[in-house]
Amino acid sequence: MDFTDKKRVVVTGLGMATALGLEVGENWTKALAGVSGVGRLALPGAAKSPVQAVAALKEDDWARITDEFPEDSKNAIERRTQFALWAAKRALQDAGLISGGARERFGTVLAAGLGINRLEDIARWTKNNEFDMTGFSNEYHQVTVDSIIRNNSNRAAALIAGRFSLFGPNATITTACASATQAIGTAFRMIRGGEADVIAAGGADSMINPIGLVFFVLLQAACTASENVTQLCRPFDRRRSGLIMGEGAGIAVLEEYGHAVKRGAKIYAEVAGYGSTMDAYQVTAPMPDGSGAGGAMCAALRDAAMGTDAIDYINAHGTSTKLNDEAETLSIVNIFRERARDIAISSSKSMIGHLLAASGGPEFIFTVLSVAGDMIHPTINLTHPDPKCNLDYVPLVSRQTKVRAAISNSIGFGGQNASVIVKKAGP
């Protein structure tokens, strides 16, 4: 297909749930103000956890979600799936597509992380240091409600499709921290290629549980400090000491431009390009020279038929880990060369934590809002810049500036990299 034959893809609806709140407007207002959603871990027995700082949803917000979907709450649906239902409903409402019309060309592409294995389940059927397979096979229906046994990875995408009559393409992507950006990129290509008119795309995840938390401690990726928890997520700061786990969802409605115009839809911005690469280097570390992430940005620029001079903002993966922040900085320098220091860069994770498979969802939404409103949220807690991370990370205070086009980056464990380009939607 020639570039001139490709359909245009625009963003017409946004929905999210993070530690900053349940509405897009609330999230954006707090992000621009540099509000931290990080708090102290509140799970039972949390005092014994090596991880004390997390960006979990507030209890009142969780209660709103369960009230919104009471039957799902009764039917053993885990947190991440209910986050996905909430964000999808809000995005479809925002787009004016919550119901009605022929929906055979409406689809869902959603990112989902690893399923949960609960310690209680392991302990229940462990006897004399051996797992009781016979007992488990007879009593497996007693597993906890959010166990992976009750919740396959594709459950959220399937429920969203059924609940909102999205009868077109349906896919679930699990590629570590790049999942949601790859889901958005996949949806973009489906619409651009004529496979669908509308797709709800993004991700939902929650690993704020004992196994999820200890997993990242064992990988030496998690922050284990416990003082001043709101200040512990410090992307690009020389005092950074690891990622802060977050949870939630971010889902956008992507729509073919002509379809959106015909029905008079509100258009936030246009999705212009997508690129994805694989480091094939180490499971828990990016290519030190940033070539993997750089390759994804290059691929997205080629896909969009754009030059490096068109990009005004980058929503960085920005995990607050030693390896990621340096490698991502190098990738930007290597691709943008002399322009690298003229591009505004910020990390949403400094406020909402790392949503793992879902991280690219809210970050894409913030990128869309930056392009739509010419505002960039800050990287908070960046008070001691790392000399090896010497770009413009919009420290501490938001910035009003022209944003013609922007890149949202995701860099995942296993070497997965993904970049999506968003630009202003002209006629």
**Which among 393, 161, 406 is positioned nearest to 268, based on CA atoms?**
406
**Is residue 384 annotated as a catalytic residue, yes or no?**
no
Query: How many Cβ atoms are within 10 Å of 262's Cβ, its own excluded?
Result: 10
What token pair was written down for 186? 């996949």
**Active-site hit among 177, 223, 298, 389:** 177
Q: d(Cα 417, Cα 409) in Å, to the nearest integer?
A: 8
Query: How many Cβ atoms are within 10 Å of 387's Cβ, its own excluded?
Result: 6
Dihedral sign from CA coordinates of 28, 199, 80, 174: negative
In terms of Cβ atoms closer than 10 Å to its own Cβ (0-12, 13-18, 19+), residue 145 is: middle
Alpha carbon distances (Å) from 134 to 119, 139, 140, 255, 291: 19, 9, 10, 50, 49
Q: d(Cα 221, Cα 236) in Å, to the nearest integer?
A: 15
The CA-based angle 108-190-168, given to 5 degrees, is: 40
**Active-site hit among 223, 317, 377, 389:** 317
**Is residue 354 annotated as a catalytic residue, yes or no?**
yes
**Is residue 177 annotated as a catalytic residue, yes or no?**
yes
**Active-site hit among 298, 354, 377, 389:** 354
Give residue for tokens 């001691």.
384
Residue 101, SS3 per DSSP? coil
**Helices H, strands E: what count in the chain?**
14, 16
Give residue for tokens 């034959």.
5
**What is the DSSP-derived secondary structure letter of residue 53?**
E
Q: d(Cα 317, Cα 419) in Å, to the nearest integer?
A: 10
Half-sphere exposure of 171 (CA within 13 A, CB side): 19
Q: d(Cα 378, Cα 34) in Å, to the nearest integer?
A: 6
247 forms beta bridges with: 206
Q: Which residues are catalytic?
A: 177, 317, 354
